[in-house]
């Protein structure tokens, strides 16, 4: 009984709240609409605020209050986590109000919204490249801003995302036994991110991929491909003698040498 009463109470509150919003929307009193939109904004009811601000933007366009309304409209999207819309409106705000005291903030939030929308490295990373570009544009435009430190941190995190995406793709190829493709992907990561903290892991994976690829090759190709494993081993050992995976790498070298001896 108590649970049922609680649910009914919540439904009644929700219905009353929606009914209030509908009445405000139908009202011709623009001052009331603006007052209620700001109240919703202050109470963190951003979905309702957006509905009213959208209508008010048309009404107040060209007036002194348009800037404040548009700013809160963009912020509502940002605060409710609708980052793609937020980035668009922050960019538009900066273009519409180039002399605004809020321009630095909205320029930063435009880039930050793009960053928040591209944090999942398993998704397409075209947006991440755009994020890095926009963050760098902000730094160039406001080099003395207190937000530059955060912008640089987001650029670093975005670059890690790009690396993680390529690592994810390489490991997918490895899991489905596409060893030649996986080796190419891991080599590309080594070339693109030579200062990566995982560089020794990528070197190990290249050798592992090359070895597996040689092992599954037809007999007449095996000699050439096992030799390639040993060449890569010598190269990686020379440039990175303190590889964390040295024991595994030595094992691959030993197996490759044994395979070549059998072929001979």
Model confidence pLDDT, tens digit, residues 148-158: 999 999 999 99
Instruction: Kindly report, residue by residue over 46-91, the tens digit of the pLDDT.
Output: 999 999 999 999 999 999 999 999 999 999 999 999 999 999 999 9
Count CA atoms closer than 13 A to 205's CA, side-chain side: 28
Average pLDDT over residues 18-38: 88
pLDDT at 9 over 80: no
Burial 243-255 (b: 16+ CB within 10 A, else e): bebeeebeebbee
Q: How far apart are CA 225 and CA 214, in angstroms?
A: 5
Interval 176-197: pLDDT, tens: 999 999 999 999 999 999 999 9
- Rounded to whole angstroms, how far apart are CA atoms 107 and 225? 53
Pick the more confident residue, 22 or 96.
96
Please report which confidence band the pLDDT of residue 18 belongs to, taking 50, 70 and 90 as the band edges. low
Q: Is residue 218 pLDDT above 50, yes or no?
A: yes
Across the chain, mean pLDDT equals 91
Q: What confidence score (pLDDT) does residue 14 get?
A: 47
- What residue spans define the domains of the chain? 1-80, 178-264
The confidence score (pLDDT) of residue 10 equals 47
Closest residue by Cα to residue 128 from 118, 120, 138: 118
Determine the average pLDDT of the residues in 204-232. Answer: 94
pLDDT of residue 13: 46
Q: What's the mean pLDDT in 95-109? A: 97
pLDDT for residue 120:
80
The confidence score (pLDDT) of residue 27 equals 82
Q: How far apart are CA 97 and CA 178, in angstroms?
A: 53
The whole-angstrom separation of Cα 7 and Cα 201 is 54
Q: Which two tokens stand for residue 252?
A: 């691959």
Q: What percent of the chain has pLDDT over 70?
A: 93
Among 16-25, 92-101, 116-125, 196-205, the range scoring the smallest mean pLDDT is 16-25
Check whether 12 has a pLDDT greater than 50.
no
What does the pLDDT read at residue 123?
73
């Amino acid at each position: 009984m108590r649970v049922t009463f609680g649910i009914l109470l919540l439904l009644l509150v929700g219905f009353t709240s929606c009914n209030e919003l509908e009445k405000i929307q139908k009202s011709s009193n623009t001052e009331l609409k603006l007052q209620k939109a700001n109240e919703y904004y202050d109470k963190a009811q951003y979905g309702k605020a957006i509905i009213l601000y959208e209508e008010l933007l048309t009404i107040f366009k060209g007036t002194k209050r348009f800037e404040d309304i548009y700013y809160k409209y963009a912020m509502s999207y940002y605060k409710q986590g609708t980052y793609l819309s937020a980035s668009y409106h922050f960019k538009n705000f900066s273009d519409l109000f180039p002399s605004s005291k809020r321009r630095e903030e909205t320029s930063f939030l435009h880039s930050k919204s793009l960053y928040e929308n591209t944090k999942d490295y398993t998704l397409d990373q075209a947006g991440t490249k755009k994020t890095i570009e926009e963050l760098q544009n902000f730094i160039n435009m406001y080099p003395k801003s207190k937000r530059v430190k955060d912008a640089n941190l987001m650029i670093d995190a975005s670059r890690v995302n790009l690396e993680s995406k390529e690592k994810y793709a390489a490991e997918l190829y490895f899991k489905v036994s596409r060893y030649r493709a996986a080796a190419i992907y891991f080599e590309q990561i080594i070339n693109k991110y030579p200062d990566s903290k995982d560089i020794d892991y990528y070197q190990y994976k290249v050798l592992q991929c090359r070895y597996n690829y040689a092992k599954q090759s037809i007999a007449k190709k095996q000699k050439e491909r096992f030799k390639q494993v040993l060449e890569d081993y010598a190269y990686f050992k020379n440039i990175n003698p303190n590889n964390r995976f040295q024991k595994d790498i030595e094992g691959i070298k030993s197996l490759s040498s044994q395979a070549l001896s059998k072929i001979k």
